[in-house]
Amino acid sequence: MTAAAENGAQTAGRPTRLPRSARRKQLLAAAQEVFVAQGYHSAAMDDIAERAGVSKPVLYQHFPGKLELYLALLDTHADAIVASVRDAMASTTDNKERVSAAVRAYFDFVDHKSEAFRLVFESDLRNEPAVRERVERVEQGCIAAITDTIISTTGVHRARAELLASGLVGAAETAAQFWLAAGRQVPKSEAEALLAALTWRGIASFPLQGESAPPLGESA
């Protein structure tokens, strides 16, 4: 069944006039299916229009070209993963739980049935500056969210906090993708717990604000 049929965009063989926002949402959903399945370079606007059940002129009324359509999807999912990590940091004041929530955000992202993570983490258009900028924005946005939390709770210098945050982001992203590619051999909840435990054992060595600690790099 096409995205158009699922969204009631056709009735008795005649296109239904949807509100602009609803039509845009429908086109993005169809485009996401095509881009995920075929990659950017192999996907064609004809394929997307057909999947959406609309004519190409209708598609071009909303998006002037394939790149603009792809960037609109990237914006949506880039904002979503950054928001998930920020929400994870704000979900509790327990730092151990924050680490678990951040790890869970990445596993949830790669495990979603839409496979939208492939647009962000596995794009075949990384050499396009506009795409590269959005992918880097995801990484930097997630690092910034965790950095701010590390600084507020430990008081370490920003450069050190950013390094710690980048380690957590890199580990979560890489492990989540590896878990998926390996066929989910470890139950998801267990995989999240394993990575959270590994990460927490490192971050927990840094004292909270007001606690004394040896210089970074030295043992307590």
Residue type, 72: A
Contact 111, 180 (CB under 8 A): yes
Indicate whether 212 pLDDT > 50: no
Give how far Cα 164 sits from Cα of 6, 19, 156, Å.
Answer: 45, 46, 10
Q: Among 207, 192, 201, 198, which residue's Cα sits nearest to residue 101?
A: 192
Q: Is the dihedral of CA 70, 131, 82, 173 positive or negative?
A: positive
Q: What pTM was computed for the model?
A: 0.78
The tens digit of pLDDT for each residue in 100-122 reads: 999 999 999 999 988 888 888 88
Q: Average pLDDT of 134-144?
A: 93
